[in-house]
Structure 1
């Protein structure tokens, strides 16, 4: 009897292999042959799932975003305002090797999105979703009195989102697997400024 292949599981195996290759060799080193070898598949086995490296990178970006959002849902459950906002940010910041590897997926995707309208749309919609989440947490914090900064919430959300994305760029360019322990302190400082009022 032929073996039944779980196609979704195989796609995720290929994405995980892609992350490991990019972490070791960078995006240019992540050839389809290297990814297939890393995943333990024959080179031709990738074609039915990802006809090109570009389609694999797009899928990998979507998977990173969805996985991050799943972590965010878990850590923000039952929280509101500043506690929810802090939990959200911690899941995006590259504070461990897994999230550094995720950053090394999203940064090459951004590079391709510069000249690819389809990828630019994926990125823009993803960031709009995060911006809306941050605005929601800020509104809750205003309502409970823990944020009183005299700055428009939309500007605060944009500033915080840029900080998170900048941290991903810094992590992707840093030494292999090295997360910056100062990021958590920077986040705390930013949240303290929001509560300071002026």
Structure 2
């Protein structure tokens, strides 16, 4: 009787292997041959799932984004306003090994997206979803009387996005310059600006 292959599980195994390789060896070290070996498959076994490394990298980015959003949803729970915004930021900031690995994967994807319009568009759509999510939390916070800043919610969302993405770069490329406690302290400093009455 032929062996039944769980194709979804195989894709997940390949993506996990890709994560590990990029985190360990960088994006150039994650060749299709090395990915197959890391996942425990023959090189040709990847072809039915990912026709090229570029296809696999796009899928890996989408998977990271999806998994991060699932984690955010779970952690947010019933929180709204600033509490929900803080949870969102803690799940995006590279505050543990898993999120540091995600940052290295994302940076590798950015490198490819610079010369690939489809990857650039994928990144833009993903970041727009995050901006919209941040804006919902900021508007809820303002409606609940939690914020007093004269900075518009749209401007603050942009500032916060730049801080989150910049933190991913800092931790991935210069890990000694931004500790986890420093990142949390910087985030709290930003959120305190929203809560300070301005004259």
Which TM-score band applies after superposition, normalised by the shorter structure? over 0.9
Flag structure 2 segments of 5+ consecutive residues without an equivalent: none
* 1:171 and 1:180 in contact (8 A); partners too: no
TM-score (norm 1): 0.95
Q: How far apart, in 2, do the equivalents of 1:126 and 1:184 lie? A: 23
Higher alpha-carbon deviation: 18-27 or 78-87: 18-27
Q: Deviations over 1:46-90 (max 9, x none)?
A: 111111111110000000000000011111121100000000010
User: Which residue in 2 is equivalent to 1:121?
Assistant: 121
- If asked which structure has higher relative contact order (CA below 8 Å, sep 6+), I would say 1
> 1:77 corresponds to which residue?
77
Deviations 1:99-119 (A, max 9, x none): 111111111111211221111
Structure 1 contact 97–179 (Cα < 8 Å) conserved: no
- Distance change in 2, residues 1:59/1:140 (3 Å): same
**2:66 corresponding residue in structure 1:** 66
- Counterpart mapping for 1:1-198 below 5 A: 1-175=1-175, 180-198=180-198
Preserved CA contact (<8 Å) 2:26 2:108 = no
Point out where structure 1 has 5 or more consecutive residues left out of the alignment. Answer: none
Q: Following TM superposition, where does structure 1 have runs of at least 4 consecutive aligned residues deviating by more than 4 angstroms?
A: none
| Deviation for aligned residue 1:175 | 4.9
C-alpha distance 163-175 of structure 1, shift in aligned 2 (>3 A): closer
- How many pairs does the alignment contain? 197
SS in 1 for 2:139: helix
| Cα RMSD after superposing both structures | 1.5
- The 3-state SS of whatever aligns with 1:181 is helix
Query: In the TM superposition, what is the alpha-carbon distance from 1:127 to its structure 2 partner?
Result: 0.8
1:94/1:179 contact within 8 Å kept: no
TM-score using structure 2 length: 0.95
Question: How much has 1:179 moved relative to structure 2?
Answer: 6.1
What is the Cα deviation at residue 171 of structure 1? 2.0
